[in-house]
Amino acid sequence: MSPPANLLLADLASTGVKQIPTSYIRPISDRPNLSDVQISDVPIPLIDLHGLNGPNHSLIIEQISQACENDGFFQVKNHGIPEEIIGNVMNMARQFFNLPASERLKNYSDDPTKNTRLSTSFNVKTEQISSWRDFLRLHCYPLEDYIHEWPCNPPSFRRDVAEYCTSIRGLVLKLLEAISESLGLERDHIDKKLGKHGQHMAMNYYPPCPQPELTYGLPGHTDPNLITILLQDDVPGLQVLRNGKWIAVNPIPNTFIINIGDQMQVLSNDRYKSVLHRAVVNCNNERISIPTFYCPSTDAVIGPPNELIDDDHPAVYRDFTYGEYYERFWNRGLVKECCLDLFKASPDS
């Protein structure tokens, strides 16, 4: 049975509420401190992928290596995905969240095992403080296994989102080859470690918030998956932790933000970093972001490759399945302590 509409944040916010409910208010020690956030002209590297398969190949591989090692985040332009496909998926997300509550709630579930579901915050079953976000979660690879579960309203939702998912997968596979090469591994090394591969995405909706200094769209966390491809609209909200300071990553049109997930940190034997990031909200504008999460299959065994282990660089992590990792991550919720610490190799192993 669907919950009442007021469980969805979008509908609460649309009532013109002047104060956020206490269930959204963070303790004083865990608030965004928005005045302390740094604004940088180039907060994370911007890499031009044009020529990746041409004369600039070595230069781009080195740029990717440096970004993964030093920042854990980078942006890409000339990525090969047409602006029309990007515009269509963003338009579908906006149209979906503008549907009447009764229509949106047909997709509602607080069961995290469901492949397609609308929900709110992060994990409404376990968390004590809610996040200022609604989201539509979609599994999208293999596409034919999941597309029939997706919303059919707006009418072109399935067509436009499928086209986007397929394009993003092509970009991910290209990036995984480049990242493998940047680690000195065979270009297909990471691809082969993923088993059947997994791909899912979220359409995140952050309504205007009357008291943005008291809450988060999403609190600081690392991503449990392999790599994340983020599309965001023109409203700022993403912040990345660097040297103990939060840095605002403002949108650049027609670019994607790439961030290294926990599994990539393991596969690089800690050379590449999965970095804390968060989403903040504002009192004037709604914000939409669309992250695509690329993952190993649940039975894929993840661990540092032998090629990156030697006397000076012992294995930092034990082998584990991605399913085991994701279950631990989900049950812990979004906490600043990285879930990776639970999977470190013992000193005697």
User: H-helix or E-strand containing 112?
Assistant: none
Q: Is the dihedral of CA 265, 267, 270, 271 positive or negative?
A: negative
Any domain includes 291: yes
What span, in angstroms and rounded, lies between the C-alpha atoms of 341 and 349?
A: 16
Provide the residue range defining the domain that includes 225: 30-343
Distance in angstroms (rounded) separating the CA atoms of residues 249 and 276: 13
Residue 131: closest CA among 248, 287, 347 = 287
Residues 6 or more apart whose Cβ sits within 8 Å of residue 312 = none
Within 10 angstroms of residue 126's Cβ, the number of other Cβ atoms is: 11
Based on the structure, what is the number of domains in the chain? 1
Mean pLDDT rounded to a whole number for the chain: 91
| Residue 107 belongs to a domain | yes
pLDDT > 70? residue 255 = yes
Task: Please report whether residue 3 resides in a domain.
Answer: no
DSSP 154: S
Instruction: Say if 4 falls within a structural domain.
Output: no
Cα–Cα distance measured from residue 131 to residue 256, given in angstroms and rounded to the nearest whole number:
24
Considering the domain boundaries, does residue 153 fall inside one? yes
User: Domain holding 327: CATH number?
Assistant: 2.60.120.330
* pLDDT digits 0-9 by tens, 301-324: 999 999 999 999 999 999 999 999
Helix axes 157-182, 57-70, angle to 10 degrees: 90
* Count of residues in the chain: 349
Mean pLDDT (whole number) for 214-241: 95
> Does 15 reside within a domain?
no
Q: CA 82, 86, 87 angle in degrees (round to 5)?
A: 110
Confidence check: pLDDT of 14 > 90 = no
Q: What is the pLDDT of residues 193-203, one digit of tens each?
A: 998 999 999 99
The answer to whether residue 91 sits within a structural domain is yes
pTM over the 0.85 mark: yes
H helices of 127-235, where? 143-146, 157-182, 189-193
CA 235 to chain centre: 17
